[in-house]
Amino acid sequence: MIITTCLRPDVNLEREAEIIASDLNGQSIIRNDLSLEEIYNKFNKPILVIGKNRLEWYEDDQAIPYFFHPNSSVFRIRRLMKGEHDPFCDACLLEEGDSLLDCTLGMASDSIVASFMVGKRGNVLGLEKNHIIAYLTSKGLKTNKQNIKDWSNIINKIEVKNVDYKNYLKTLPDQSFDVVYFDPMFEKNIEASSGIAALKNLASYDDLTFEVINEAKRVAKKRVVLKDHFRSERFKKYGFNQLIRKSSEFHFGFIEVSKN
């Protein structure tokens, strides 16, 4: 991959580009007045652009850039502050002090909402298989600014691991998280949301398996939660109680975990 800066960078941006190139084992180049098309035509590699406010990943010179953005989490938290309900939180039964394992972190929108709900005493761990998504999300969670009380504390305490959840779940002790959450990526996600269209070439399309669900039930204290298209067969196949939302294409389902 090629690491470069936006046009007219300052010294700090150039230094940051070198650090990020080292982190990601990429090739850092000086931008000068080169366009992205010129850079791509010369190197024929994906490009990570270091800007003043965000990092942008381009698969090619025509690609929609991927960059971290908290998306729906901002207005969802504002609603929760007003005492309104959030379907994700209702499905997870999140309370202050809880712990949540997000097995499909992506842009971390649901993890951010979970972090708000569990408060200072709770914790949220997000797993992301793709190293670019994991890196940009981790960086974004440290730097993003929003006009919400304690926003920095909410997002800063989310831990990000660049791992495959199928393998990581096996390493965890029994009942180590209150909730284990899955939001698997598939084509209908992208068709329904232009906001994640840039993830199309980066996202993992690994499907759930009975082995994964059984591991999740072992790790969870309270619930295993799934977000999926309302027509998905995963709810019935894996024994999730599907919560019907007539006005939404995406439903949540849960498995209540009973420990003997």
pLDDT block averages, 10 residues each, the chain of length 260: 95 95 95 93 95 91 83 95 96 97 95 97 97 95 94 97 97 98 70 55 80 98 95 94 89 86
**DSSP-based three-state secondary structure for 246:** coil
Give 239's DSSP letter. T
Question: What is the pLDDT, as a whole number, of residue 187?
Answer: 47
From the options 3.40.80.10, 3.40.50.300, 3.40.50.150, 3.50.50.60, give the CATH code of 72-256. 3.40.50.150
pTM: 0.91
Question: What is the pLDDT, as a whole number, of residue 186?
Answer: 58
Question: What is the pLDDT, as a whole number, of residue 197?
Answer: 60
Cβ burial of 60 (10 Å; 0-12, 13-18, 19+) is middle
Which residue type is seen at 9?
P
Q: Minimal CA–CA distance to 180: which of 90, 112, 99, 118?
A: 99
Question: What is the pLDDT, as a whole number, of residue 194?
Answer: 44
Domain ranges of the chain: 2-63, 72-256
Assigned token pair, 196: 């994640």
Determine which helix (DSSP H) or strand (DSSP E) holds 55, and give its type and residue range.
Answer: strand 55-58
